[in-house]
A = this chain, B = another copy of it.
Amino acid sequence: MTKRAGLDSFFAPKSVAVVGATPNEEKGGYGIIFNMVDSFDGPVYPVNPGRDEILGLKCYPSLRDLKGKVEMAIVFVPAEKVPGVLEDAVEAGVKAAVIESGGFAEVGEEGKRLSDRCKEISVKSGLRIWGPNCTGLVNTDPFIFTPFVPIRRAQERLKPGCLGIIAQSGMLAAGFLIQYVVSGFFKVSKACAIGNKLDVNEVEVLEYMANDPKTCAVVAYLESIVDGHAFLEVARDMAGNKPLAVIKGGRYEESARAALSHTASLAGSDEIIDGALHQAGVIRLEDFHDLMNLGKAFSLHPQPFNLATPEGNNIAIITITGGAGVVTIDMLRSSGLEMAELKEGTIKNLAKVFPVWMPPRNPVDIWPALEQNGIGIFADVIRDVLADDSVDGVILLPFANRAMEFFPFDKVGKEVQKRGKAMVSWMFGDTRYFDHFEECLREFGVPVYSDIRSCVIAIEAYLQFSRAARSRAGEHPSREIKVASIV
């Protein structure tokens, strides 16, 4: 058995062949070659025995005709032809193959046999295999975009960011890609659909991201975890360095069965899995909506917050409506967070801009101060609250209307960055003003959500991450994690 190479040949290949490339725009093999020609900087070789030329490039009958020229092959041919293609790849000196075709272990016995055959080739030759049954991967720097959905000017549209995404299910990965990555909902470093995990699995991809200087945080949807030990070890190594949030389905018998997690996976009851993930510093979520919203939060923060402050869970709320403040307190407290007790100096400062009949306290109901002083007062109030040592994070609850055009974004942003404290914002009201508000605040690392739950999840995760970072920095000894007991 040859020593296995790492994943560089997938994430940063010097040259790429597309096996199953076609000029037929209805087919996935078109999308892949289109994306490569349109956005990959190195040499691209279409492979298809029935064509001479595709998209202006010479087309080759087989990988064997490209000996020594191809580092990575993307394969999109019917499943029964894949083992032959892999043998060609080995012959040609290809190092890595992304198999996007379906029809393997997920479709029954015959597929399973094909899958085993591919696995055998990989093990014997050292050829690394990604997939099958997946859309492959996206790397924003250097740029590579393997999915079979044709995306024009992908390299321009997907600006490099620091979030890593891992998704197992092919269809979900495709959905996440379109809905969150291509749309610019957040900026990614790498987005990976790992499919059937015939060779490359979630642990190896996660470890790659853990060591990748361009990735600052990872969100993952996992159906199964092939090696609980290894997964937890990587997660523990990441704690305090790069936050990791996962959805791991299968809490109940019915869902575990549906996820086929009885096959080689993180074993034991869900309580044990839950505890182990928690101990390893992993944030576990339930809904994709929450995972993607938290991904947005972390994509804005390459660094943990304010390691100099004492480690607390004390939140200040600055709200334009008392009612939203009340609801937010309930949700914060349910999550185990605390309401900050503002210091006397802060109260004194705030009182200068508040009407006499309303002594400031937390939650800071900003409306009367706003009526008296105009919308610019947001900057003063946020400055004073962020400067308070008893405040570890701020949730902002403003109201979207025409006045938003005069919101003091720059002043607020400078204060947030100066204090290095977590701030997140809810937004409600006139939806026409949502985008502008969100764009202006995201520049300063403040994520904006239209549900309060996402604000609470994000600020809790920010604080947890900062605590872990302090612990990692040696302020406190790392909590011991008993991996042995849970697998």
Contact = CB atoms under 8 A, between A and B. Distances in A.
Contacts of A259: 322-323, 326
B430 A179 contact: yes
Nearest to A356: B108
A429 B178 contact: yes
B429 A175 contact: yes
A60 interface: no
Contacts of A176: 428
Q: Which of A107, A176, A327 has the most CB of B within 10 A?
A: A327
A322 B289 contact: no
B429 A330 contact: no
A325 interface: yes
B258 A326 contact: yes
Contacts of A325: 258
Interface stretch (A136-144, A243-251, A378-386): A243-251
A355 interface: yes
Contact of A286 (B175, B247, B327, B357): B327
A255 B361 CA distance: 12
Contacts of A468: none
A367 interface: yes
Interface string A392-415: 000000011100000000000000
Interface stretch (A71-79, A447-455, A479-487): A447-455
B289 A249 contact: no
Interface in A158-185: 167-172, 174-176, 178-179, 183
A245 B321 CA distance: 21
Given A168-B323, A321-B169, A175 B330 contact: no
Contacts of A355: 107
A178 B267 CA distance: 49
Given A287-B452, A321-B172, A333 B221 contact: no
Oligomeric state, in copies: 2
A170 to B, nearest CB: 8
Contacts of A171: 320-321, 323-324, 367, 399
Contact of A179 (B111, B320, B428, B452): B428
Contact of A323 (B172, B183, B321, B323): B172
Interface string A93-106: 00000000000000
Interface residues of A, number: 64
A435 interface: no
Interface in A318-352: 320-327, 329-331, 333-334, 339
B330 A249 contact: yes
Q: Which of A174, A367, A368, A428 has the most CB of B within 10 A?
A: A428
B258 A329 contact: yes
A271 interface: no
A109 interface: yes
A431 B288 contact: no
Given A168-B323, A323-B171, A286 B330 contact: yes
Contacts of A357: 107-109, 111
Contact of A452 (B169, B288, B400): B288
A156 interface: no
A223 interface: yes
A1 interface: no
A451 B258 contact: no
A25 interface: no
A282 to B, nearest CB: 16
18 contacts: A108-B358, A169-B323, A170-B321, A175-B400, A178-B431, A223-B323, A252-B329, A252-B330, A254-B333, A255-B326, A255-B329, A255-B333, A259-B322, A287-B327, A287-B451, A287-B453, A288-B327, A288-B452
Given A111-B357, A287-B453, 19 more contacts: A109-B357, A169-B321, A169-B322, A171-B324, A174-B429, A176-B428, A178-B430, A179-B431, A249-B327, A252-B330, A252-B333, A254-B329, A254-B339, A258-B322, A286-B327, A287-B327, A287-B451, A288-B327, A289-B451
6 tightest CB-CB pairs across the interface, nearest first?
A108-B357, A169-B323, A249-B326, A289-B451, A255-B329, A171-B321
Interface of A: 107-109, 111, 167-172, 174-176, 178-179, 183, 221, 223, 247, 249-252, 254-255, 258-259, 286-290, 320-327, 329-331, 333-334, 339, 355-358, 363, 367-368, 399-401, 428-431, 450-453
